Structure 1
Amino acid sequence: MREILHVQGGQCGNQIGSKFWEVVCDEHGIDPTGRYVGTSELQLERVNVYYNEASCGRFVPRAVLMDLEPGTMDSVRTGPYGQIFRPDNFVFGQSGAGNNWAKGHYTEGAELIDAVLDVVRKEAENCDCLQGFQVCHSLGGGTGSGMGTLLISKIREEYPDRMMLTFSVFPSPKVSDTVVEPYNATLSVHQLVENADECMVLDNEALYDICFRTLKLTTPSFGDLNHLISATMSGVTCCLRFPGQLNSDLRKLAVNLIPFPRLHFFMVGFAPLTSRGSQQYRALTVPELTQQMWDAKNMMCAADPRHWSLPHSFCHVQGQNEH
């Protein structure tokens, strides 16, 4: 089986990563203890892409969780699916990066990186045929951007022939926590251009606009933004997790979508997006879904795809086809 190793780093990376695992567990019929409670054999057909099966029949996410402070790890552990992760795969420091890219990349992060790489190596050695890595991080903080890009470059050195997919949350002046976010993002993008194979671009501004304008949430929280990201991540990885004809692994996805090696930053559109309570009053047709998917309001980064020509695109549809 072609396995993927998931790594999440920093506060943002761990929070969206945890939501991602909640959604994926639900789709594969796995409960918070790791037991299979699903109803379809399709749920188990390619479950090994993201899960290790333990000897007692439990499914354990192939995930490594890292941070430079223990607070986020504690909240993941106490979350609804906190007990499903392997305890040895939590790697954290005590000092924090203080939203400083250099601390994450050169000082505190550099001290912790060997411990993270040890856990990554153990998980990689347990795989039959590792297809690549998936990294969840933000580019605005210190750990996700600095230590996240350090980890990506180290993995590239150690596993040069494996694919590297990142879910990178870009900062925005409209939804900004700290004044140094642009510096952290600028320093990180260079690393992603050189060392990642596929980057899914997620943008706080676009996510906030979707919550406010489309989903009609008056004061969107980071929980709402994370819910949106987890649904998008689930949709993007669906073709990797379930049997299908097209883009069934990371390399095929790259071959079909990347015209030149350095042009590997993907815009993700998601449909349908409907506000709470209005779903029962609408019937969504295939043309309407397709139109929504290409609409700038449904893009996970604040850019309008109609303003330029797209070299490649890929549409993944889930659900029963009644046409």
Structure 2
Amino acid sequence: MMYTMADTELKPCDLAALETFEFERVLMESTLTGSCYLLGRLHGEPAIVHVQRTAVDPSAAPGIVKEGLESLDVFLDNRPYFSAHALLKRGADALPDLALKLIWPCTDVHIKKYTPQPRRLLTETPELYASIVEPYIASFPPERTAWVHAIIEGRKEAERVLFSAPGDEGFTLLPDLKWDGVSPSALYLTAIARDARIRSLRDLRRAHVPLLRAIRGAAYAVCAERWGVAQGELRLFVHYQPSYYHFHVHVVHVAHEIMAGMAVGQAHMLEDIIGWLELSPEDGPSLLSQMAFTYALGTEHGLYAPLAARQEGEADGFGEH
């Protein structure tokens, strides 16, 4: 489970608490992943519950087909094609039916993130970053990333940590909530930098190259040792704009189904970032801080309106001298 609130005695992650969930509406659903996001209230505060069918471990699938089914309801019988709904046998080694994730209390930002909305491409110049984006990032209260600090300080999710490097130049590597830990082909990890001063790739400097190399090395080693996933089977990338402003790197199996977060414009390969930083001066602004970035934003994103207004104004004046 994921918690976005400060430590509290209220327990949202037991059956008794979830039975009090007051459903309001469906934010988003996906027939591809068999999941939906539900908006409601828990303990009187807004909450989002993500309900998803769990993935099947390919190594366990043959055994399930042969002797792990309790019942079969065939709804298509037209040789050579057959389809059926099946129920798994219950037992100590039974697979869970659902994966649940909870954001409680959720904010308007969370609600907008998980609500379908049109997306538009925008170009962010260094000048727009300084005048619009950086003040937007600075406006977030520290509580917004309290859950991140709880992880890197070892107060939360310590049992899930796969690798941890201490100090301001260190990081913590752990499974992402998008992965249930079952199928290696759906592997998804996150490496979170300890230095809170690095909010996004715009803050990276050449001095951060050792940190990025260390993250890359740890990801390769952990994935090979624990799951037999080789270096060439991993995609390491950084989002811009990110979903939260504390620098982190995504580590994803190359066979993972492509999601919106892997689209060109938002996902930047870690190897490319290291290359840009190595071409940057030892002291002073990095190439990343001086580049213009083009990316898609949902029209409800807090940055969309001010960035779009500036670009529309510039387009209106195009060709005027």
TM-score by length of 2: 0.28
Larger strand proportion, structure 1 or 2? 2
Larger helix proportion, structure 1 or 2? 1
TM-score by length of 1: 0.28
